[in-house]
Structure 1
Amino acid sequence: MAEDPKIELFIKASDNGESIGNCPFSQRLFMILWLKKVAFTINTVDMKRNPHMLKDIAPGCQPPLLIYNGELKTDNNKIEEFLEEVLAPPKYPRLSVRCKESMTAGYSVFQKFSAYIKNPLPQKNEPLETSFLKALVELEQYLNTPLPHEDGTYPSKRLFLDGNELTLADCNLLPKLHVVKVVCKHYRNFTIPKQLTGLCRYLNNAEKREEFMNSCPNEEEIKLAYRNVATTLR
């Protein structure tokens, strides 16, 4: 059997420079490699204290980036496609989705969240929150709608976006949802409504998986990252 490739993943370091920083794109690649069950090395890059750490490896680039058998990869989407192609069955699990719609489910949540959390004007808060909630409801509807490979029972009982296993779709969405959940609670006292049972089920299932939870930055790190982004209503 062929040996595993040599893989190094460079991700953003936390504010203290010692642990995982707040970067959904870094977590996305971290999760993919973990789910592929391949050996890899994690390097946290402290861009604040050591901004020149990558100058000899990838001058001008920001994490995340990947070195695969000595070859540098810097584009997030292309890295995902590359890993799915080279780390393929039967040795490595397939992570691509069966339903292409799973890859775009929840795509507008982070966009609507960003507009909501950055707004400083009280008169705009309600419409922006309504728009954000609508995006959450659309994701809820997708999670509750049975997919073609299910038995048709409504609401769906599947664990994740595309089925009962984590896929590339989850690696993309879950890190963003985690940020949304933490930041909204801390800066707007907004929690995901319990009535969104499909979405709550999805997040609860994700929190049972080590590939997700152990690749998350801690909540204080997320709050700190949004300290100058989340504005106070005036």
Structure 2
Amino acid sequence: MAQAPKIELFVKASVDAESVGNCPFCQRLFMILWLKGANFTLTTVDMKRAPDVLRTLAPGSQPPFLLYNEEVRTDTNKIEEFLEETLAPPEYPKLCCRYKESTIAGDDIFRKFSAYIKNPSPGLNNMLEKSFLSTLVKMNMYLETPLPAELEKNPNATESSRLYLDGDKLTLADCNLLPKLNIVKVVCKQYRDFAIPESLKGLTRYLDNAYKQDEFRFTCPNDSEILIAYHSVAKYLNK
């Protein structure tokens, strides 16, 4: 049997340097390694102290970065591709999506959320909220629409009952989207008193299912970390 690779993932540390900080890219890779069932070391990097490890291993880089058998990788998308190719069956599960649509579902949510949350003008709030909400509605529609595999099993299905974006297993698409949705949920509640509408049943179900999974729940930063990260960019609206 081949020797297991030596893997170390460096992620952004929390403000108190004790736990993981707010970084959806770090969480994405943390989830992937956990879902792969790989043995790896997680190292938090305190950005305020700019430790020697950063200067030595990845000068000029921000976490996340990966040390794989002594080789450093710094680009999140390329790390994801590398892990999917290298940690492959039969020893490790495949995490890629069956359906291309799953990989792009929700890809406009974070951009519209940022515009909504960084806006200081009450006059623009309704328009930006509608624009952001429309991305959630679109995402909800994707989650409520049966996938081809579901229709094969039940040609008369009108509503999807799948757990996640691409089926009943977490995939790379979920590792990309869920950390962002968690930030959206926490920040919108604090700064806009906005919660994801319960009428968006597909999206609500998706998040409920995700929070039950250790690979997601235990890789999330504390809510306080997210709020600290957004403190300087999110704007309270003075009504």
Regarding TM over 0.5, the answer is: yes
Q: CA deviation at 1:51?
A: 4.7
Map 1:6-155 to 2 at 5 A: 6-151=6-151, 152=155, 153-155=157-159
Q: Among 175, 183, 187, which residue is 1:183 paired with?
A: 187
Q: Does 1:233 align with 2:237?
A: yes
The SS at the match of 2:10 is: strand
Q: Does 1:214 align with 2:205?
A: no
Partner of 1:156: 160
Q: Deviations 1:111-168 (Å, cap 9, x if unpaired)?
A: 0000000000000000000000000000000000111111341210000000000000
Q: Deviations 1:83-124 (Å, cap 9, x if unpaired)?
A: 000000010000000001100000011000000000000000
The letter of the residue matching 1:125 is N
Separation in 2, partners of 1:83, 1:23 = 19
Q: Deviations 1:201-222 (Å, cap 9, x if unpaired)?
A: 0000000100001100011111
Separation in 2, partners of 1:132, 1:150 = 29
Gaps of at least 5 residues in structure 1 are none
The letter of the residue matching 1:78 is K
Q: Does 1:171 align with 2:159?
A: no
Q: Among 184, 203, 220, which residue is 1:199 paired with?
A: 203
Separation in 2, partners of 1:176, 1:56 = 30
Count of residues in correspondence between the two structures: 234
Separation in 2, partners of 1:36, 1:13 = 23
Q: CA deviation at 1:190?
A: 0.3
* Structure 1 residue ranges (4+ consecutive) displaced by more than 6 angstroms after TM superposition: none
The SS at the match of 1:150 is: helix
Separation in 1, partners of 2:237, 2:190 = 13
Separation in 2, partners of 1:227, 1:51 = 25
Between the aligned residues of both structures, percent identity stands at 63
What is the CA RMSD across the aligned residues, in angstroms? 0.9
Separation in 2, partners of 1:179, 1:52 = 30
The SS at the match of 2:95 is: coil
Gaps of at least 5 residues in structure 2 are none
Q: Deviations 1:151-186 (Å, cap 9, x if unpaired)?
A: 341210000000000000000000000000000001
